[in-house]
Amino acid sequence: MTKSPASVEFRSVTKRYGSVTAVDDISFTIEPGSLVTLLGPSGCGKTTTLRLIAGLEMASSGRILIGGKDVTRLSAAERDVSMVFQSYALFPHLSVLENVAYGPTVQGLPKHRAREMALEKLALVGLQGLERRSPSELSGGQQQRVAVARALVLEPQVLLFDEPLSNLDAKLRRRVRDDIRELQKRLNLTVAYVTHDQEEALAVSDRIIVMSDGRIAQSGTPRQLYEEPANLFVADFIGDANLVDGVVVEERGERALVRIDGITIEVPRRGAGLGPVRLAVRPTAVLLQRTGPGRQAVEGRIAKAAYLGKHAEYLVASPMGELFAIDRADGPLLEEGAPVWISLADREVAIVPSAEG
Amino acid sequence: MTPSGRAWLLLGLIGYAILPWHLADLAPLANRYPAGEAGSGLGRALFGGAWWLLPIAAGLAVATVPVVARLDRDKAAAWLVAGGGFGLALLVVQGFVIGHNGWTTAWLAAWFGAPGPRQGGLGFGAALTALALLMLLCQGLADRGWCRGDAFVVSAIGLVVALIGLFVFFPVLRILVSAFQDNAGQFSFSEFAAKVLDRSIWGLDCLTSSLRCGVAWNTLFLAVLVGVGTTALGLAFALIATRTGFRYKGALRVLTVLPIITPPFVIGLALILLFGRSGALSALLYEWFDIPRSRWIYGLPGVLIAQLLAFTPIAFLVLIGVVQGISPSLEEASQTLRASRWTTFRTVSLPLMRPGLANAFLLGFVESMADFGNPLVLGGNFEVLSTKIFFAVVGAAHDQGRAAVLSLVLLGFTLAAFWVQYAWLGKRVYTTVTGKGDSGLLLPLPRRVAWLCYATAIPWAVFTFVVYAVILVGGFVRSMGRDYTPTLEHFLTGFRIEAGRHGLFLSGSAWDSFIATLKVAAMAAPLTAVIGLLTAYLMSRQSFAGRRAFEFGTMLSFAIPGTVVGVSYILAFNVPPVEITGTAFILVMCFVFRNMPVAVRSGIATLSQIDKSLDEASLTLGARSFATVRRVILPLLRPAVVASLVYSFVRAMTAVSAVIFLVSAEYNMATTYIVGRVEAGEFGLAIAYSCVLIVVMLIAILMIQLLVGERRLGRRTAPAPVGNVAVQAAG
Ligand SMILES: Nc1ncnc2c1ncn2[C@@H]1O[C@H](COP(=O)(O)OP(=O)(O)O)[C@@H](O)[C@H]1O
Ligand SMILES: [Mg+2]
C-alpha cells in the first residue's frame, strides 16, 4: 500500500517578511520520484522555499501544488510532506521508538500498529536495538538516522531535507549522503534537498535548482549546470570557473569559434552572435606546460602552487587575468614564479549567455 | 467546514436559542421562559419584546451558510468571517448600549427617546453565543490563511485577546472614564483637574504647619524609604551570602522563601503583637525599663518596618543574582593593578552593581506603593493612596469617582516606575554578566564592608525570625503579651468540627471563608497556568499583527496595584453587560489576570530554551497545533507549569488588596476574613488562621510538584525555582 510519489509545483510563489522578500516569484516543478536540490549561498531563500513546501510558511502570493492538488492554503499538518530538520529536532522527552512512532500516534493509529511501523522504519535506517535509548544518548549520525526514520514513517508523498549533513563530520557526510540517495531511489521518493555545498548537490541530485537572492538562477541536471551555466553566477557557483573575455570570430552552426587572447577554440555557440562574449573556463580546462607549445598558447607565470595529493592547484598570472588551474598530470610540481605556457582544452569551456549576469 | 467549526456553530445556536440569555434567577422557570426574564435570546427576541437581540440571529445564520451550501474553502471562510464578526459585533454593541435603565449613552436617548429598552447583565446563553461567534470568526480567518491556516492558533489568539480586553483593558478604561465624569455622569475635564490636584492629595501643609501632608506625598515618601531600606538590607544579605564564609547561609535561603507564602499583612499583625500597646515586647520594655506603652507602631514607623520586613527578601533575590553576576576577573584585574580590596570594592564592584541596585530599589518602591494590607493594619492616621482608595469606596462617602481619581494617581506612580525601569534599566541590567565561563574567585569583602553588612543584616535576620516566631507561637497561646497559657482555643474557634445530628458539620467561624478561598484558588491556579502559558506560547512561537499590544496588555495587569484593580473591577463589572460582582467568578478572573504575567514570563523563559523546530517537526508529522502543544510543548514546559501553578495558587490564597473590594457575604476570602479579625482585635484567631494558610500552601506546593512531575529530558534536567520566577515577574 505504498503511496506513489507526488510532484511538487510552484507557480509564481513569493514570500515576504515585512520588507524583506525571501522568495521572489519563483516557479519550478519537481517530478515525482526525483531528488531535486535547492542550491545557493546562505540567505538566498532555500530554507524558506523548503518551508513553503512543508507548509511551515504561507506563501504571500502564488500557488503551490503537491501531486497536482492545490495546497497553498493548507497548514503543515494537512500536507502529506515530512521534513528532516537541520538540527534533527528529535523530541528530547521521548525515546527513539516514541519519536519515530510519533507520526502514526498523532494520526490516531492504534499503539501496536504505530510501534510496528516505527520498528520497520528504524530497521530500514539500520538502527535496530536502539529503540529504547533517549535521543541524547545517540551519536550525531545516529540521531540523523532517527530523524530520517521519523520523517519516513508516514510514507509521505514528499520528503524534505534541510542541510542534513551540516552537523556531521566530514567523513560521515559522504556516507550519509550516499545513504540518503540510495534510500530515495529504493523507496522511489520525491525529495527536495537543501544545501549550500555544490559538490554535495552535484553528487546526489537528479536536478538542481540554483537560487540567488530569492530567485532561481538556473535549474537543470548537474551536467547541464556544469557544462552550460546560464549566467555568471551559476558558472561561478558551480564547480569554480575562471571568467574570461573572448570574441566570437566565426559561427559554425551550433558551435562557434572563439578567440581568447592568442588562443582560438571551438565551443558550443549557445545563441551567441559575432562579437565579444564572456566564457567560463573550468580549472581543469586550463592546461599548463613547461616547454614551448605544440598548439596555440599564451605565456604566464605560476603565482601560487599547492600540492593536494591527487592533483595540484595553481594560480597562474596570465594576459587573460589570474587563472585557477587544476593539474591532474603526475609530473613534477611547477614552482611558484616559474614561467608556463597556457593553453585551453575545448571541453569544459562554455560561453555564458550575457542576458543576465 | 471542519468538525470543530460545526461544533462551535451548534454551541452558538444552543446558546442563542435555548439557554437563558440574561443573568436571571432560574427558580420559577415556567412563567419566565422562554420569553420572560430567564428566556433564551431567540425567545426574548421573538416573544419578549427584546427586538435588539434578533439581528444576532442573522450573524449565526450567515455562519451557517457554509454548512448548508457546498462552497469552496475560500468562500466558506468568507461566510464564517462575516457571520462571526457581524454577530459578535452586534452582541457586544447591544450589550453596551442597552442597560438596566435603558440607553446607556445620552445621545442614543436623545435620538430614540428616553428611557429606551432595558436589559440586565448577559448570562450563560449570551456568553456561549459570544464565544461561539468569536470561534467561528477565528475559524474563518484561519481558513483564509491567517497564522499559516492554523485554526487552533487563531482561536487561541482571539480568545486571549478577548479575555485581556475584557479583564484588563476594559476595567482600566472604566477607571479613566469615571475619573473624568462628574457626579451627574457628564464628561468634565475641569472637575477632573480639580480632583486630581486636590489638596488632600498633593498638599504640603506638613512642611509649614502641623497639618498633614497630602496622601500622595505620604505614599511617595514611604515608598522611597522602603526602596532605599530594602535595597540596603538586601545588598547586605547578598554580600554576606556570596562573599563571606558565613555559616548560616541555609537560614538566609529560608528567609527568601517564607515571605512568598506569607500573606502580606501577617507581618504587620506580628508587629502589633510585638510592639502594640499590649504587645509582647512592649510589655517587657515596660516591666524592665519602665518605658511606657504607646501606640507608636501605628503610623509611618509601623508600616515602614512591616514593609521592610516583607520586601527585603525580594531585594535580596534580585541582588544576589547581580552580585554573583559580577565577573571575578574584573575584580582580579583591578587587584593586579595594585588596588586594595577596599578600593576595588569601591571603584569596581559597587559601580558594576549600580543597575542591580536601581532595579532592587524600584521593586521595593513599587511593592510599597501597591501594598495594602500593612497600611490597613498598621497605618493608623498615616494614610497612603491604597488605603485611601479603599476607604473612598467602602467608607461613608462611597465616592467611586474619587476612588477612580486616586487610583489614577497611584497608577501613574507605578507605571512611571515601571517605565523608568524598562527604559533605563532594561538595557543595562545584564552588562555585568559576560556569558563566558569565568574561572576567577569571588573576592572576599573588605573587612569594614563585611562588618557593616553583619551589623545591619544579623540584627535584621534575628528580628525577622522573631516576627515569624510570633506568628508561630501567637496562635497557640491565649494572648500574646498578656497571657502565655498554651491553648488551642483560637484554632477551635476558627476550625471547630462538631458532630451534629446529621453527621459532622463545620461549626468553626473560619470554615466558610477557608473553603471559599480554597475553591477560588483551586479554580484560579489552573486557569492562570493555562491562559498564561497559552499566551507565552503565542508570544514566543507565533507572529501576528498587534503582538506588541498583546504583550503590553499582559504586562499591564502586573503593573496595576491591587487596590486599583479592585476599584476598576467594581466600576466595570457592577453593571451590564458583564455584571458579575459578588460572584466567585469575578474573584477567579481577578486572580487569573493579576497573576497571569508570571505564568507568561516563566512560560516564555522556558519556551525560549526549546528549539522551535521541535514544534515544526511535530507539525510536519501531521500533528495539528493543539496536538503539538499537548504532546511536545507541554511535557517540555513542566517547570513553567509548576512555577505558574504554585505562584498563582499562593497568590490567590494570600492576596488582599484587590479582593477586598470584590468579596461578598457568600464568597468571603480567608485574607479579608483575617483582616476583619485584626480590625476587631481578635489577634489570636487571625494568627492561628494565618498559620493554617501557610501550612495549606506548603502542602499545596508539594502536591503540585508531585502531580505535575518532573520533565524527562534524557540526561538533562532543569529545576524551576519559584522564588526566582516571582522576582523575574516583578522585575
Ligand atoms: N522569519 C523571518 N523573518 C524575516 N526574515 C526572514 C525570516 N526567515 C528568513 N528571512 C530572510 O529571508 C532570507 C532567506 O532566508 P533563508 O530561506 O533562511 O535562507 P537560506 O536557507 O538560503 O540560507 C534571508 O534574507 C533571511 O534573513
Ligand atoms: Mg537555510
**CA B25 to centroid of ligand 1, rounded, Å:** 59
Give me chain B's average pLDDT, please.
81
Burial-class residue B30 by CB neighbours within 10 Å (0-12, 13-18, 19+): exposed
**Mean pLDDT across B386-403:** 82
Question: What would the mean pLDDT of A267-294 be, rounded to a whole number?
Answer: 85
* Closest residue to A106, CB basis, from B73, B621, B713: B621
Identify the architecture of domain A238-352 in CATH: Beta Barrel (2.40)
Buried b (16+ CB within 10 A) or exposed e, B135-162: bbbbbbbbbbbbbbbbbbbbbbbbbbbb
**Mean pLDDT score, A83-91:** 89
Helices then strands, each counted (H, E), chain B: 36, 6
Pairwise CA distance, residues A246 & A321, whole Å: 12
User: What would the pLDDT profile of B343-373 be if each residue is shown by its tens digit?
Assistant: 777 777 777 787 778 878 888 888 898 888 8
Write out residues with Cβ below 6 Å of ligand 1: A 17, 20, 22, 40, 42-48
User: What is the average per-residue pLDDT within B606-616?
Assistant: 84
Question: Burial level of A111, CB count in 10 A (0-12/13-18/19+)?
Answer: exposed
Residue A294's pLDDT is 66
Task: Give the pLDDT confidence score for residue B239 in this predicted structure.
Answer: 86
Euclidean distance between CA atoms B5 and B65, whole angstroms: 12
Contact A93/B at CB under 8 A: yes
Q: What percent of chain A is modeled with pLDDT above 70?
A: 97
pLDDT at B483 > cutoff 50: yes
Judge whether residue A280 has pLDDT over 50.
Answer: yes
In DSSP terms, which residues pair with B40 in a beta bridge? Answer: B20
Dihedral, B598, B599, B601, B605 alpha carbons, nearest 10: 140
Take residue B572 and report the three cell numbers written for it: 466595570
Atom of ligand 1 minimally distant from the CA of A214:
14
Q: Which of A15, A19, A20 to mutate for ligand 1's pocket (most ligand atoms within 8 Å of CB)? A: A20
For the cut 50, the answer to whether the pLDDT of residue B639 exceeds it is: yes
Q: Do B407 and B568 touch, CB atoms closer than 8 A?
A: yes
Q: If pLDDT is split at 50, 70 and 90, which confidence band does B726 have?
A: very low
CA distance B710 to B716: 11
Q: Among the listed ranges A32-36, B484-488, B617-621, which one has the minimum average pLDDT value?
A: B484-488
Alpha-carbon distance of B252 to B335, in angstroms, equals 30
B320 confidence band (pLDDT: 50, 70, 90) = confident
Asked if the C-beta of A82 comes within 8 angstroms of chain B's C-beta atoms, the answer is: yes
Residue A324 touches partner B, C-beta closer than 8 Å: no
Q: What are the grid coordinates assigned to B613, written together?
A: 523546530
In ligand 1, the atom with minimum distance to the C-alpha of A211 is: 22
d(Cα B232, Cα B222) in Å, to the nearest integer? 15
Check residue A96 and give its pLDDT. Answer: 93
Of residues A39 and B426, more confidently modeled: A39
How far away is chain A from the Cα of B553, in angstroms, using its nearest Cα? 24
Confidence of residue B716 (pLDDT cuts 50, 70, 90): very low
List the domain boundaries for chain A: 8-232, 238-352
The pLDDT mean for chain A works out to 88
Give the relative orientation of helices B300-325 and B722-730 as an angle to the nearest 10 degrees. 110
Q: What is the pLDDT of residues A163-201, one digit of tens each?
A: 988 888 888 888 889 999 999 999 899 999 999 998 899
The closest of A83, A19, A46 to A216, measured between CA atoms, is A46
Separation of alpha carbons B280 and B274, rounded Å: 5
**B263-310 pLDDT, tens digit each:** 877 888 888 888 887 777 777 777 788 777 777 888 899 999 999 988
| pLDDT per position as a tens digit, B507-532 | 778 888 999 999 999 999 999 999 99
pLDDT at residue B340 in the model: 75
Contacts of A57 in chain B (CB under 8 A): 148
A74 touches chain B (CB under 8 A): yes
- Measured distance CA(B365)–CA(B223) in Å, rounded: 5
For the segment B148-171, the average pLDDT, to the nearest whole number, is 89
**How, if at all, do strands A339-344 and B477-479 pair?**
unpaired
Q: Identify the pLDDT of residue A269.
A: 85
Per-residue pLDDT at A16 = 93
Name the band, by pLDDT with cuts 50, 70 and 90, for residue B87: very high
Fold of A8-232: Rossmann fold (3.40.50)
DSSP string, A82-141: EEE-TT----TTS-HHHHHHHHHHHTT--HHHHHHHHHHHHHHTT-TT-TTS-GGGS-HH
pLDDT band at B727 (very low <50, low <70, confident <90, very high): very low
CA–CA separation, B621 vs A154, rounded Å? Answer: 8
For a pLDDT cut of 90, what percent of chain B falls above it?
Answer: 14
| Distance (Å, whole) CA B337 – CA B327 | 16
- pLDDT at residue B136 in the model: 94
B244-250: long-range contacts at Cβ-Cβ below 8 A with a sequence spacing of 24 or more?
A: B244/B444, B244/B445, B244/B450, B244/B453
Percentage of chain B surpassing pLDDT 70? 90
Give chain A positions within 8 Å (CB) of B631: 102, 106
- Stronger pLDDT, B37 or B596, i.e. the higher one: B596
Model confidence over B326-348: pLDDT tens digits? 766 677 777 777 777 777 777 77
Out of A48, A52, A194, mutate this one to test ligand 1's pocket (max ligand atoms within 8 Å of CB): namely A48
The pLDDT, as a whole number, for residue B30 is 59
Q: In the prediction, which pLDDT does B729 show?
A: 37
pLDDT of B592 reads 92
The model's pLDDT over A329-342, given as tens digits with 9 standing for 90+, comes to 767 788 888 888 88
Query: Which of A75, A93, A103 is opposite residue B635, by nearest beta carbon?
Result: A93
Length of chain B: 731
pLDDT at A26: 95
Question: Which residues does chain A have within 8 Å of residue B76's beta carbon, measured at their own beta carbons?
Answer: none
Residue of A15, A17, A193 best suited for mutating to test ligand 1, as the one with most atoms within 8 Å of CB: A17
β-pair partners for B506: B497
Give the count of beta carbons closer than 10 Å to the beta carbon of residue B449: 20
For residue A240, what are the CA distances in angstroms to A214, A237, A319, A353? Answer: 22, 6, 20, 17
Helices (H), B98-169: 106-112, 124-143, 151-164
Cell (9 digits) for A319 = 594576459
Pairing of strands A242-252, A255-260: antiparallel
Kindly report which listed range (A16-25, A100-109, B438-447) carries the lowest average pLDDT score: B438-447
Three-class SS of residue A268?
A: strand
Q: B370 with B411: CB under 8 angstroms?
A: no
**For residues A246-267, b (16+ Cβ closer than 10 Å) or e, as one string?**
bebeeeeeeebebebbebbbeb
* Residues comprising chain A, all counted: 357
User: B635 near B712, Cβ under 8 Å?
Assistant: yes
Strand partners, A285: none
Q: What is the DSSP annotation of B213-258?
A: PPHHHHHHHHHHHHHHHHHHHHHHHHHHHHHS--S-HHHHHHHHHG
pLDDT band at B25 (very low <50, low <70, confident <90, very high): low
Condensed to tens digits (0 to 9), the pLDDT of residues A199-231 reads 899 999 999 999 999 999 999 999 989 888 888
Q: Find the mean pLDDT for residues B529-538.
A: 91
Interface probe with B: pick from A106, A157, A161, most Cβ of B within 10 Å: A106
For residue range A142-154, what is the model confidence (pLDDT) as tens digits? 999 999 999 999 8
Q: B438 pLDDT band (50/70/90 cuts)?
A: very low
Region B665-686 average pLDDT? 86
Q: Which residues contact B157 (CB under 8 A, 6 or more apart)?
A: B138, B147, B538, B542, B544, B550
* Cβ–Cβ under 8 Å, residues A245 and A260: yes
| Per-residue DSSP letter, A153 | T
Instruction: Provide mean pLDDT across the span B662-677.
Output: 86
Chain B contact probe: residue of A17, A80, A93, A159 with most B CBs at under 10 A: A93
How many whole angstroms separate alpha carbon B309 and alpha carbon B256? 11
pLDDT of B428 reads: 46
Q: Are A73 and B616 in contact (CB under 8 A)?
A: no
Kindly state the average pLDDT of the residues B720-727.
38
Cα B275 to Cα B305, B312, B397, B462, B602: the distances in Å are 11, 20, 32, 16, 40
Q: Which band of pLDDT confidence, cut at 50, 70 and 90, is reported for residue B200? A: confident
Please report the pLDDT score of residue B728 as a whole number: 38
